[in-house]
Amino acid sequence: MNAFDVLRDSLYFFKRHLGRIVQLCLPLVIFEAALQQVVDRASDPDGYSAISVIVGLLVYPLYTGALILFLDARTRGESPATLDLLAMAARLWPRFALLTALNTLLILLGLSLYFLPGLWLMVTLAFGEYLLVLRGLNPLQAMKESLRLSRGHFLRILVCILCVMGPLWLLKGLTLQLYPEPQNPLLAVLIDSGHSFLQLFTSVVLFRLFMLISELPDKRIGSA
């Protein structure tokens, strides 16, 4: 399946289950955006970036983990309750937060090295979250397995990520032009919440890719 088929199928799923995804993720997304605003106004500009990352580590693993569990359940025809999904995501939080921290650190370090290493890491580590949540791997194992799974599929993963994130980055830039900082706190929360929620579509796309690539025969078996 090519990248555009993956995007089409993912968009169909996202639209069909939008109500459940909103119910599951949006409250936490809004809470994260509000917490970021509090941190933004309470901290000095030099320390904001580090504290902002910490805020993301607190909340992002909860709603992303719950979304991954929901996606997996729907592939099996199941429809678990929202609170059950959030409870399962909460149990995964320590490992998920550590994985997110490691991924963020490596990608930021890679981006500082002339951008391309960061882009490569962003693509090759893309499946780590799914491996941790769905296969129970620890963070380092999930990262290693993601590197293996993405081998030979770099371009397809990259195209899928850019097709989703490219328009979102442009939308974010346009929004900042229309509503330059400093923004009204409520408006800032609404903008950040909308942007973060739309980014969840990336998780749906990568889940679809993960399922497709995981079903392919293991190349190591064929070469044994």
pLDDT mean across residues, the chain: 90
Instruction: Summarize pLDDT for 150-162 with one digit per residue, the tens.
Output: 999 999 999 999 9
DSSP string covering 44-65: -HHHHHHHHHHHHHHHHHHHHH
Domain count, the chain: 1
| Tens digit of each residue's pLDDT (9 = 90 or more) over 8-29 | 999 999 999 999 999 999 999 9
Residue 222 lies in a domain: no
**Domain presence at residue 188:** yes
Return the closest-CA partner of residue 103 out of 76, 82, 130: 130
Q: Which residue has the higher pLDDT, 149 or 114?
A: 149
| Whether residue 222 has pLDDT greater than 50 | no
Residue 10 falls within a domain, yes or no? Answer: yes
Query: Does a structural domain hold residue 221?
Result: no
Terminal Cα distance for the chain, rounded: 26
> What does the pLDDT read at residue 211?
96
**CA-to-CA distance for 85 and 87, rounded, in angstroms?**
5
**pTM of structure:** 0.92
Task: Give per-residue pLDDT as tens, 97-123.
Answer: 999 999 999 998 888 877 788 899 999
Does residue 205 surpass a pLDDT of 60? yes
The pLDDT-based confidence of 221 (bands split at 50, 70, 90) is very low
The answer to whether 132 touches 96, Cβ cutoff 8 Å, is: yes
223 lies in some domain: no
**Can you give the pLDDT at residue 44?**
65
Classify residue 224: in a domain, yes or no.
Answer: no
Cβ neighbours of residue 9 closer than 8 Å, sequence gap 6 or more: 1, 208
Those residues whose C-beta lies under 8 Å from the C-beta of residue 207, and which sit 6 or more positions away, are 10, 68, 71, 72, 130
- Residue 94 domain-assigned? yes
Identify the CA nearest to 137 among candidates 148, 151, 153: 148
> 36-86 pLDDT, tens per residue?
988 887 776 655 567 778 888 999 999 999 999 999 999 999 999 999 999
Classify residue 48: in a domain, yes or no: yes
Q: Domain residues for 115?
A: 3-215
